[in-house]
Amino acid sequence: MTLPDNYNLVHITDRDLLDFTRSQNGASWRGVLSLQQYITREVVLAKSKAVKKLMVFVLEDSTNNNKLASIELLVRDATKFVFNGTKAEKQPVECGAIGGVFTYPQYRGQGLARIMVDKLMKQAKTSIMGSSGFTFLYSEVGEYYNRNGFISFSVPLCHIPVSSTLTTSISSSDTITLLGYHEFKPYFELYRQRYEERIINDVEKDHKTRISPNITSDYVDWFHLRAKYIAYHLFHQKPAIDFEAASYEELVEKFHSITPKVFGLKITEASTLVGFIVWTYDWSTAADGNPSNTVTVIKVHVEPGYDVDIYTLRLLTHLKILLEKQNQENDTATSGFVKIVVWDSDTSEEVRAKLQAKYQAKTGIDNPSRSAMLLHEPSDHQKLCDGELIWENNNKVTWF
């Protein structure tokens, strides 16, 4: 029988131990990178401003200190929006995103992942974030984490096919501006202002508490750093970069010169912002050896006063046109894209229906990263279960 008291969860900071955990899970998560490239990628991502408090833990056998499994916790600033009897009130809290849950192959089948998550949550509720915080994760193993008390809020996906030739057009006079690497700070400052305004309005209407991580452009820059690092190893290798020694600012400067360079676009009317869309890139190869690359939408935002459905559809269409144009060019980093992935949290049913009708999009696809949430305060968690507390920004932006 596997007893929790037979194991210790240990916070590690030693570089050799950190690399060891990545060498173990890299076989599953390295994707197109070599194992060493994957290990170094995690070092690079840890330089990002979005990863100010990333904690890595190992589960050890208490009798011999053998390393059995590992887990990561990214602590971020968050806000709790509550009704105080007269108006909505913002309360600063901390939240944690769990990732990297991995039991080493020779120790599987003993329930160690459940024990590890339970032990981490005990620390999260006391010494790390406290009882006012919350923790979420994106499960790759279905409803496994229900046994740890997490409640699933999975968001389905929509897949929009992208042609190898330019088959998409749009009958609009939209003014389009492409957005490049590290150009998203003003847009996400605006996005946060808008979602906080909406949440406050909703709380004052129905008096239900809302919780949300504090979204900033740092979140987006983390995705783009990840994409730039992968593209560098797949397609460039120049300029020469010492990834171990380089600061985050030095990496940003060097990555500016390599493709992909475009990560978003915006629509304006007479220099007034209507909306924007931001995405990231993933590269893979199909069974026939041809590229089978994917663009994943991180966020779609339409400003108040404009029809959200109309402009969401337009933004997605402009992205599709851009990718089909790039597919005809010779840059291997920005061609070979076959689909756009969008989380349902960024589209309405009406938009998805139009995407199906116009572009043969597939909707209602099960998300391989199933969102799940656990409030640290039991009474708050019960409200979440009862629908009296709402998780905002359950979308790709906060994925980890």
Helix, strand or coil, per DSSP, at residue 388: coil
**C-alpha distances in Å from residue 129, one per residue of 132, 133, 202:** 8, 6, 26
Q: How distant is the alpha carbon of residue 291 from its chain centre?
A: 23
Domain boundaries, the chain: 7-155+368-398, 157-365
Helix, strand or coil, per DSSP, at residue 117: helix
Architecture of the domain defined by 157-365: 3-Layer(aba) Sandwich (3.40)
pLDDT in tens, the chain (400 residues): 589 999 999 999 999 999 999 999 999 999 999 999 999 999 999 999 999 899 999 999 999 999 999 999 999 999 999 999 999 999 999 999 999 999 999 999 999 999 999 999 999 999 999 999 999 999 999 999 999 999 999 999 999 999 999 999 998 889 999 999 999 999 999 999 999 999 999 999 999 999 999 999 999 999 999 999 999 999 998 889 999 999 999 999 999 999 999 999 999 999 999 999 999 999 999 999 999 999 999 999 999 999 999 999 999 999 999 999 999 998 999 999 999 999 999 999 999 999 999 999 999 999 999 999 999 999 999 999 999 999 999 999 999 9
Could you tell me which residues come within 8 angstroms of residue 80 by beta carbon, excluding any fewer than 6 positions away? 90, 91, 92, 93, 132, 209, 210, 211
Contact 18, 30 (CB under 8 A): no
Architecture of the domain defined by 7-155+368-398: 3-Layer(aba) Sandwich (3.40)
